[in-house]
A and B are shown apart, each in its own frame.
Chain A
Amino acid sequence: MSRLFDHYGAEGKGYAQPSPILPVSELNLPANMVRNQLPRWPRLSEPEMVRHYTWLSKRNFGIDTGFYPLGSCTMKHNPRVNEVVAQLPGIADIHPHQSEHQLQGLLSIYYEMQEMLAICAGMDAVTLQPVAGAQGEFTAVRCFQEYFRHRGESNRTKVIVPDSAHGTNPASAAMSGFEIIEIPSQEDGRIDLSALRAVVGDDTAAMMITNPNTLGLFEQDIAEASKIVHEVGGLMYYDGANFNAILGRTSPGLMGFDAVHYNLHKTFSQPHGGGGPGSGPIGVKEHLASFLPSPIVARREATAAEKEQAVDAFWYHWHAPENSIGKVQQWHGNAGAVLRCWAYYRRYGKELRTMSEHAVLNANYLRHAIHREAKAAGVDHLFVDGADTVVAKHEFTLSLGPAKEKLGISAMDVAKGLLDMGYMAPTVYFPLVVPECMMIEPTETESKETLDTFAKDFCKVLQLDAETLHNAPTTTPVRRVDEVYAARNLCLRHPFDED
């Protein structure tokens, strides 16, 4: 075991730095602000530090380590050139408050990304400021709020979400001050139009929904749902978490949505980094454009004087939307993430559509392969499809309900068994509408061979006896972690003996 706080080298250890311009004695520090006890940090030399973090990395599973079929998370390969691009000094070493003259490259890429995202989603205007999907949701809902205020419709206080929605949807709307109306889904997980009709009214501000839904099914009644909400004067919000399934085949705009957020860290391959950073731009239709956070990027033809610094004959500049809600992040969003996603997008161009097609191809193929291998292995009685459908979209669900009932094997047991086979486990127990749910999203960057092998290994896990699976995993750096112990014996930082 390597622990950072076990490293207590001699005082003064640390990487060598140049001398200060002036000695400390010449700094007029206010006496009551002087720090007397330095933080009790460990002291490591570079070789020790490198070895510690390398050791830690070996105890972590990433897409680079192996197949990562985590439903709802779109764990696709992260091309390495994106990292090279994001380290160029023209992005890593620039300040958001530099003059427009000095940031024409960044501004032109922002503009290109705004345009591309608008095209892909069928929207009219885009802001890149929100730094995560949840913040995108929050930003859009704030825009809705100001839109209604502007129209004298502050009575619209309710946001409708299906019970299968991601938790961030209701959380984001509630943070803006909206009341949440949750409506039940149909048995197959699809939207229940009669339940929707029953709750819409003069107080409806919006409906938030993802399509395909969290079961991986395309909501065929989506146009009708949009119509119902629009007829009472409400707005439609598209949660872009599952955008990878439909890019180039349909768009939120075509489905009648007024606003959408994009998870650049899903669809456009910003690496997840163990939980972030992400980027959650939003796109809106014309009637909401003036409410977007400020600033966005606009362009005009460069004047003769500007030609030298201009990129491709255009002059790019910041633009404050007229009724802007202001800021949701202090600067211009996660520029570094936007740049990575720009690099990713450039390598697909119009073939982004092929990307989505392959995401759907792989999901359907894996679903098929799992059923095929289960039959061959005689374990097909242990699970059923989470939803009755001919084709899935980018992900699909299985219910391990029968395994639980017949053998006492839960979805979590199977997940842990898969860890022992060298895979990241699929998402489990979400969405809640499927009992013992396992949600599988292979993404487009896995080969047919990987999918076939995983299908076989999945069935091998189902052939294990219940006890073995209750004890799984056994080959991982640690075995099942006691989360109750963690919550009851809170230890949130390194404890010093002296404390």
Chain B
Amino acid sequence: MVDQLPNLGREEEMLKEMGIESMDSLFADVPEPVRMIGDLPLPDAQSEEELLADARRLLGANVALGDQPSFLGAGLYRNFIPSSVFQLVTRGEFLTSYTPYQPEVSQGMLQAMWEFQSLVSELIGMPITNLSLYDGSTAAAEAITCAVRVHNRKAEQKDTVYISELTPPDRVSVIHNYCQGAGIEIKKLKHDNNGCINLESVHEARGSCAVYVEQPNPLGIIDEGYPSIKEIIGEHTALIVGVQPVSLGLLEAPGHYGADIVIGEGQPLGSPITGGGPLYGIFGCTKPYLRLMPGRIVGRSIDVDGKEAYCLTLSTREQHIRRHRATSNICTNETLIALMGAMHMSLLGPEGLKHLAIRNMAACTHLKRELSSIESINQPHHQQAHFNEFVVELPEQTTSCLAFLEKDGIVGGFNVSDWYPEKSNQMLLTVTDQTSKDDIDRLVQSLTTWTAEVTA
């Protein structure tokens, strides 16, 4: 029996007072030909206890990353979220509130989101940020369409943008879906054999609307070439940089090397991986993009008494006002996950962020060193600095390696051939602050055994 309905058993009393005969009469306006007859072919209602038992049984069939040494990342990164974040974010006042359209009773979330904007703005080095998009992929897509809106009039290469050829195909697919309606052509920027951007190829992007690159790039490489990009493409082409936010504890903020728009997968700050969602997309930009950018923005204002107060602002960009001329169709976004991000950032503080970044990069450096002891495993970008992850070339197919690791109780890395089919013996190995020395030892040991088997 359902236990969520306060008026169960009181239907007759309420109907009688209204002078309505029956529940059926409440649906008398549904014409007969479209009425659903009979019960929904679904199982009976469950009690909370029964549901929880089923949830534990079914979700127990998944292998949680925390149960095994795991080396899977490729855009999402295991992290540690302080307990207070979960405790606070599930406070009903936050959890069960709607979009803050009535600012007088939504000051808590509005101020929290204004503070989120401030934290992210400092992090990425951009003067303006919104209060989140869905995820990194849609943030990248919306950044590109935004840049085209801003630059297309003056662009020599109209309706054209250039994105790094390393951009993961799943992300390119999102970008394509968002861009095709506006007739935007997506061209690719080349990378050299060392995995870094080919600056000659960046010259081709001059006169286009935007260039999109990621730092660290999808192969985990910290690309030293990026500070030259803005100079090459000039002021009429937007430089859009995608970031892993934790890396910015060590790496220069893109806003400080010429980025016009910075986007990112916010997840590593504040959110568990959760099977790939909900996450939050970071979006920040410089002033020329402000009025054509997507998403909600909170502004600081005053109330009628002159008291500090917060409200949504620049809403005339948005769908509920501008309808088909809106800068984006986004309405529901990822506010609560952004709130988790703000809480995590406020507990870290600047030095805490740096420490966290060092832990990530140290684990990565350590794994690279340890793996160099296995002769048959090659690191094609060995000379480059990496954050979180790097590619290894295996003596055999990646699928066979992953199957071996899985049997050995290790969640292996990402099969690079899922992105680039010709690279069937490459694996992207990811470590984070949550990877221990023991985890790395286990992986190296297992890979040593596997390589010995396949090269024997």
A108 contacts chain B at the CB level, 8 A cutoff:
yes
- B313's contact among A265, A445, A483, by CB below 8 Å, is which? A483
Q: Can you list 20 residue pairs at the A/B interface with Cβ under 8 Å? A: A27-B362, A35-B248, A54-B88, A60-B105, A62-B92, A63-B97, A95-B73, A97-B72, A101-B63, A109-B58, A217-B29, A272-B97, A331-B76, A332-B276, A347-B47, A350-B42, A448-B13, A478-B303, A478-B308, A482-B302
Residues of A within 8 A of B31 (CB): 220, 223
A311 near B333 with CB under 8 A, answer: no
Given known A-B contacts A93-B272, A248-B36, A132 and B76 have beta carbons under 8 A apart: no
A20 near B359 with CB under 8 A, answer: yes
B456 contacts chain A at the CB level, 8 A cutoff:
no
What count of chain A residues pass the 8 Å CB interface test? 202
B106 near A77 with CB under 8 A, answer: no
- For the complex formed, measure the closest distance between the CB of A303 and the CB atoms of chain B, giving whole angstroms: 16
Residues of B within 8 A of A391 (CB): 20, 25-29
- For the complex formed, measure the closest distance between the CB of A320 and the CB atoms of chain B, giving whole angstroms: 12
A273 contacts chain B at the CB level, 8 A cutoff:
yes
A60 near B275 with CB under 8 A, answer: no
Query: Which of chain A's residues has its CB closest to B33's CB?
Result: A223
The segment from B4-12, B155-163, B390-398, B445-453 that touches chain A is: B4-12
A50 contacts chain B at the CB level, 8 A cutoff:
yes
B363 contacts chain A at the CB level, 8 A cutoff:
yes
* Mask: chain A, 219-251; 1 = CB below 8 Å from B; 0 = not: 010110000000000000000000000101111
Given known A-B contacts A17-B355, A175-B181, A26 and B17 have beta carbons under 8 A apart: no
Give residues of chain B (186-212) contacting chain A, Cβ–Cβ below 8 Å: none
- B7's contact among A59, A172, A336, A447, by CB below 8 Å, is which? A447
Residues of A within 8 A of B73 (CB): 95
Given known A-B contacts A27-B358, A60-B105, A273-B95, A116 and B42 have beta carbons under 8 A apart: yes
- For the complex formed, measure the closest distance between the CB of A146 and the CB atoms of chain B, giving whole angstroms: 10
A355 contacts chain B at the CB level, 8 A cutoff:
yes
- B335's contact among A44, A168, A276, by CB below 8 Å, is which? A276
A42 near B34 with CB under 8 A, answer: no
A170 near B362 with CB under 8 A, answer: no
Residues of A within 8 A of B87 (CB): 50
- A108's contact among B13, B61, B94, B98, by CB below 8 Å, is which? B61
Query: Which of chain B's residues has its CB closest to A496's CB?
Result: B122
Q: A246, A332, A361, A390 — which one has the most chain B CB atoms within 10 A of its CB?
A: A361
* Mask: chain A, 417-435; 1 = CB below 8 Å from B; 0 = not: 0010000110000000000
B356 contacts chain A at the CB level, 8 A cutoff:
yes
Q: B34, B40, B108 — which one has the most chain A CB atoms within 10 A of its CB?
A: B34
Given known A-B contacts A21-B366, A335-B274, A419 and B102 have beta carbons under 8 A apart: yes
A327 near B177 with CB under 8 A, answer: yes
- For the complex formed, measure the closest distance between the CB of A461 and the CB atoms of chain B, giving whole angstroms: 15
* Distance between Cα atoms of A274 and B113 in the complex (Å): 10
Q: A218-B30, A332-B276 are in contact. List 18 more A-B contacts (CB 8 A).
A: A11-B351, A44-B349, A46-B82, A49-B84, A60-B93, A90-B59, A93-B273, A98-B63, A142-B177, A170-B323, A173-B324, A174-B325, A178-B181, A277-B278, A333-B277, A339-B55, A485-B302, A486-B311
* Distance between Cα atoms of A471 and B104 in the complex (Å): 12
* Mask: chain A, 153-197; 1 = CB below 8 Å from B; 0 = not: 000000000000011101111111110100000000000000000
* Mask: chain A, 58-79; 1 = CB below 8 Å from B; 0 = not: 1111111100101001010111
A389 contacts chain B at the CB level, 8 A cutoff:
yes
Query: Which of chain A's residues has its CB closest to B436's CB?
Result: A21
B117 near A492 with CB under 8 A, answer: yes
The segment from B127-135, B231-239, B371-379 that touches chain A is: B127-135
- B365's contact among A27, A60, A116, by CB below 8 Å, is which? A27
* Mask: chain A, 294-321; 1 = CB below 8 Å from B; 0 = not: 0000000000000001010000000000
Q: B10, B119, B331, B411 — which one has the most chain A CB atoms within 10 A of its CB?
A: B331
* Distance between Cα atoms of A424 and B96 in the complex (Å): 12
- A328's contact among B33, B177, B359, B365, by CB below 8 Å, is which? B177
B115 near A4 with CB under 8 A, answer: yes
A94 contacts chain B at the CB level, 8 A cutoff:
yes
B82 near A38 with CB under 8 A, answer: no
B26 near A278 with CB under 8 A, answer: no
A357 near B23 with CB under 8 A, answer: yes
A171 near B278 with CB under 8 A, answer: no
Query: Which of chain A's residues has its CB closest to B411's CB?
Result: A98
* Distance between Cα atoms of A138 and B48 in the complex (Å): 35
A93 near B64 with CB under 8 A, answer: yes
- B91's contact among A32, A57, A176, A445, by CB below 8 Å, is which? A57
Query: Which of chain B's residues has its CB closest to A446's CB?
Result: B6
A171 near B319 with CB under 8 A, answer: yes
- B336's contact among A142, A274, A346, A482, by CB below 8 Å, is which? A274
B277 near A131 with CB under 8 A, answer: yes
- A448's contact among B6, B224, B323, B348, by CB below 8 Å, is which? B6
Given known A-B contacts A44-B349, A277-B337, A360-B26, A171 and B94 have beta carbons under 8 A apart: no
A379 contacts chain B at the CB level, 8 A cutoff:
no
B65 near A94 with CB under 8 A, answer: yes
Give residues of chain B (69-115) contacting chain A, Cβ–Cβ below 8 Å: 70, 72-76, 78, 82, 84, 86-88, 90-100, 102-109, 111-115
B298 near A479 with CB under 8 A, answer: no
B328 near A361 with CB under 8 A, answer: no
Residues of A within 8 A of B30 (CB): 218, 220, 246, 249-250
A409 contacts chain B at the CB level, 8 A cutoff:
no
* Distance between Cα atoms of A9 and B347 in the complex (Å): 11
A381 contacts chain B at the CB level, 8 A cutoff:
no
Residues of A within 8 A of B20 (CB): 364, 391
- B349's contact among A5, A14, A50, by CB below 8 Å, is which? A14
Residues of A within 8 A of B102 (CB): 61, 415, 419, 424-425
Residues of B within 8 A of A444 (CB): 4-5, 7
Residues of A within 8 A of B50 (CB): 346
B283 contacts chain A at the CB level, 8 A cutoff:
no
A92 contacts chain B at the CB level, 8 A cutoff:
yes
- A274's contact among B121, B136, B227, B335, by CB below 8 Å, is which? B335
- A254's contact among B35, B127, B279, B301, by CB below 8 Å, is which? B35
B176 near A271 with CB under 8 A, answer: no
- B92's contact among A5, A64, A355, by CB below 8 Å, is which? A64
* Distance between Cα atoms of A335 and B115 in the complex (Å): 27
- For the complex formed, measure the closest distance between the CB of A473 and the CB atoms of chain B, giving whole angstroms: 5
A198 contacts chain B at the CB level, 8 A cutoff:
no
Given known A-B contacts A39-B122, A104-B62, A15 and B359 have beta carbons under 8 A apart: no
B86 near A87 with CB under 8 A, answer: yes
* Distance between Cα atoms of A87 and B66 in the complex (Å): 13
A12 near B7 with CB under 8 A, answer: no
- For the complex formed, measure the closest distance between the CB of A419 and the CB atoms of chain B, giving whole angstroms: 5
Give residues of chain A (440-494) contacting chain B, Cβ–Cβ below 8 Å: 444-448, 450, 471, 473, 476-483, 485-487, 489-494
B417 contacts chain A at the CB level, 8 A cutoff:
no
B361 contacts chain A at the CB level, 8 A cutoff:
yes
B380 contacts chain A at the CB level, 8 A cutoff:
no
Given known A-B contacts A58-B93, A391-B20, A277 and B334 have beta carbons under 8 A apart: yes
- B114's contact among A23, A360, A361, A493, by CB below 8 Å, is which? A493
* Distance between Cα atoms of A222 and B109 in the complex (Å): 40
Query: Which of chain A's residues has its CB closest to B383's CB?
Result: A28
Residues of A within 8 A of B324 (CB): 170-171, 173-174, 180
Residues of A within 8 A of B135 (CB): 131, 329-331
B444 contacts chain A at the CB level, 8 A cutoff:
no
- B137's contact among A33, A59, A330, A446, by CB below 8 Å, is which? A330
- A41's contact among B305, B333, B346, B366, by CB below 8 Å, is which? B346
Smallest CB-CB A-B distances: 4 pairs: A331-B276, A90-B59, A64-B92, A14-B352
* Mask: chain A, 342-355; 1 = CB below 8 Å from B; 0 = not: 01001111111111
A334 contacts chain B at the CB level, 8 A cutoff:
yes
B51 near A21 with CB under 8 A, answer: no
Residues of A within 8 A of B272 (CB): 92-93
* Distance between Cα atoms of A21 and B364 in the complex (Å): 9
A22 near B362 with CB under 8 A, answer: yes
